Amino acid sequence: MLLRMVALVLLVMLVQLVICQEDFYKVLGIKKNANDKEIKSAYRQLSKKYHPDKNPGEDTQKKFVEVSEAYEALINKETRQIYDQYGHEGLKQRQQGGGGGHHDPFDLFSRFFGGGGHFGNQPGQRRGPNIEVKVGIALRDFYEGRTTEFQWDKQQICEDCEGTGAADRVVDTCHSCGGHGVKIVKHQLAPGMYQQVQMQCDQCGGRGKAIKHKCPVCGGQRVVRKPTTVSLTVEKGMANGARVVYENEADASPDYVAGDLFVTLVEKEPDLEHDNPDHVDGTFFRRKGNDLFWREILSLREAWMGDWTRNLTHLDGHVVRLSRKRGEVVQAGQIETVVGEGMPIWHEDGDDVYHKTEHGNLFIEYVVVLPDQMESGMEKEFWALFQKWRGKNGVNLQKDSGRPEKTAHDHKHEEL
């Protein structure tokens, strides 16, 4: 009985332990072998999701702290190694031994997004400008959907000095202006007459702060502009010109909360070599809304006599079969509608469920190419057919020898 009680207590304790300290990899929703980029990306997303500004409540606040703890432990090589080997207990011991504690989760947040660790919803908090970026997307990716990446030159808070601008990360109050950023300067207008003018402090540039040694990475600017990779998910059937919003992902600065990054998806010109295995004389898929267009080339014989098949490779590689039976004529410029072979139809209402049956149409335009010169066999064949046709239609066969004969009607004209 006692044993059973002890076992139960132990079990309860274990469960509590598990609840208190969830696995850092699970917290960030990443795999054990995730790289730094994946860790950062997970932190960016989750810290915004659970930020108390967005989701007030104890639960989200706790999550927010957990996410920042997990990030800090895993982004540092040393602590990650300790965590992988000894788990939470190992990290605790290291902290007790003076191995560095946790940062304020809001500080960490502001290092990513600028400002004071908040979203800029607080009154008086400045917001940086929104930024627009255009990203070229191949038609195939609009069709199939794809998670891809793009790069842009983003202003980031300098990691070396943590946005202080100082090599030693120590920022003092400017002695010249006493931290006010402005100085009162007396101008002598005439002997005994002075004018007091308020001027921006030339020592600190109006910031009221002084640093002894400028950070060598940012030159004291506190920010650096560097190519930044952003992950982008193109959903099936998204419109050409669709806009994806990344909240607080525009230029960051310690002085303001980052604005939003707007990414416009623009359809790339087709790369005929790579995007189009069927490419013949500049044929490729063109998109208009939910429909696709394709130009198919037929020879004169095919257009006239029929009896042909084309296996058209679609954007995702599946085959659309076009064919005519013998004797089925295709007129030059004729348009054939292949129902349901257009673009997948994207639901703007945020419907995640993609309905497979919902596609636009594919329109095939037939272009008939006449041969430069008839092969002699073909010429005979056509000639025989032509003679037959003329016979049937009552055209005089005998006098057909090059130049057309004048008709009675023409004679009349000449006489007049």
Residues that bind Zn ion (CB under 5 A): 158, 160-161, 174, 176-177, 201, 203-204, 215, 217-218
| Residue 203 or 361 with smaller CB distance to Zn ion | 203
The one-letter amino acid code at 11 reads L
| Residue 161 or 238 with smaller CB distance to Zn ion | 161
Least separation in angstroms between residue 42's CB and Zn ion is 25
| Residue 168 or 247 with smaller CB distance to Zn ion | 168
Conformational region of residue 309, where left means phi above 0, alpha means psi within -120 to 50, and beta covers everything else: beta
Using CA atoms, how far apart are residues 50 and 43, in angstroms rounded to an integer?
Answer: 10
* Strand 172-173 relative to strand 209-210, pairing: antiparallel
* Strand 131-137 relative to strand 261-267, pairing: parallel
Least separation in angstroms between residue 176's CB and Zn ion is 4
Using CA atoms, how far apart are residues 177 and 398, in angstroms rounded to an integer?
Answer: 112
* CA-atom Rg of the chain in angstroms: 37
| Residue 67 or 177 with smaller CB distance to Zn ion | 177
Tell me how far the alpha carbon of residue 95 is from its chain's centroid: 40
Least separation in angstroms between residue 15's CB and Zn ion is 45
| Residue 169 or 288 with smaller CB distance to Zn ion | 169
CA nearest neighbour of 36 among 87, 62, 72, 61: 72
| Residue 171 or 343 with smaller CB distance to Zn ion | 171
Least separation in angstroms between residue 267's CB and Zn ion is 40
Least separation in angstroms between residue 74's CB and Zn ion is 24
Using CA atoms, how far apart are residues 105 and 71, in angstroms rounded to an integer?
Answer: 10
| Residue 220 or 306 with smaller CB distance to Zn ion | 220
Using CA atoms, how far apart are residues 291 and 239, in angstroms rounded to an integer?
Answer: 11
Least separation in angstroms between residue 80's CB and Zn ion is 24
| Residue 81 or 173 with smaller CB distance to Zn ion | 173
What φ, ψ does residue 32 adopt, rounded to 5°? -60, -30
* Residue 154 and residue 225 in contact, taking contact as beta carbons nearer than 8 Å: yes
Torsion of CA 88, 92, 98, 101, to 10 degrees: 70
Least separation in angstroms between residue 181's CB and Zn ion is 6
Least separation in angstroms between residue 207's CB and Zn ion is 7
Helical (H) or strand (E) element with 193: strand 193-200
The three-state secondary structure class of 79 is helix
